[in-house]
Structure 1
Amino acid sequence: MVDRECVRRAQAGDREAVVALLRELETPIYRTAYYTLGHEQDAMDAAQEALLRIYRKLNTFRGDADIRTWAQRIAVNTAIDAARRRKDVLSLQEDRINGGSPVERSAIYTDVREAIRRLPEPQRSVVLLRHIQDFSYQEIADTLELPVNTVKSHLFRGRKKLMEWLSDYREGGVSHEV
Structure 2
Amino acid sequence: MVEQQLVRAAQSGDRDALITLLREIENGVYRTAYYILGNEQDALDASQEALIRIYTKIGSYEEKAQFKTWVQRIVTNICIDKFRRSKPSVSIDEHEMVFTANSNVEEDVFSSYVAQDIREAIDQLPEHHRAVVVLRYLQDFSYNEIADSLDLPLNTVKSYLFRARQQLQTLLQDYQKGGVRG
Bigger CA drift: 5-14 or 125-134?
A: 5-14
Are 1:40 and 2:40 an aligned pair? yes
Aligned residues between the structures = 172
Q: Tell me the distance in 1 between the aligned counterparts of 2:4 and 2:112.
A: 43
Q: Tell me the distance in 1 between the aligned counterparts of 2:16 and 2:112.
A: 43
- Partner SS state of residue 88, structure 2: coil
- Partner SS state of residue 8, structure 1: helix
Q: Is the 8 A contact 1:6 1:17 kept in 2?
A: yes
Matching residue within 140, 144, 155 for 1:134: 140
Q: Tell me the distance in 2 between the aligned counterparts of 1:2 and 1:148.
A: 28
Aligned to 1:154: 160
Are 1:23 and 2:27 an aligned pair? no
* Structure 2 residue runs without a partner (length 5+): 98-105
Question: Given residue 118 of structure 1, which amino acid in structure 2 is its aligned partner?
Answer: Q
Q: Tell me the distance in 2 between the aligned counterparts of 1:37 and 1:59.
A: 28
Q: Tell me the distance in 2 between the aligned counterparts of 1:26 and 1:38.
A: 17
Q: TM-score, normalised by structure 2?
A: 0.81
* Structure 1 residue runs without a partner (length 5+): none
Cα 1:23–1:106 change in 2 (3 A) is closer
Q: Tell me the distance in 2 between the aligned counterparts of 1:110 and 1:157.
A: 21
Deviation string, structure 1 residues 41-98 (Cα, Å, up to 9, x no partner): 3322211110001111112111100111101110111122233344214689967xxx
Q: Is the 8 A contact 2:35 2:119 kept in 1?
A: no
Aligned to 1:4: 4
- Partner SS state of residue 3, structure 1: helix
RMSD: 2.5
Bigger CA drift: 120-129 or 80-89?
A: 80-89
The sequence identity of aligned pairs, in percent, is 54
Are 1:64 and 2:70 an aligned pair? no
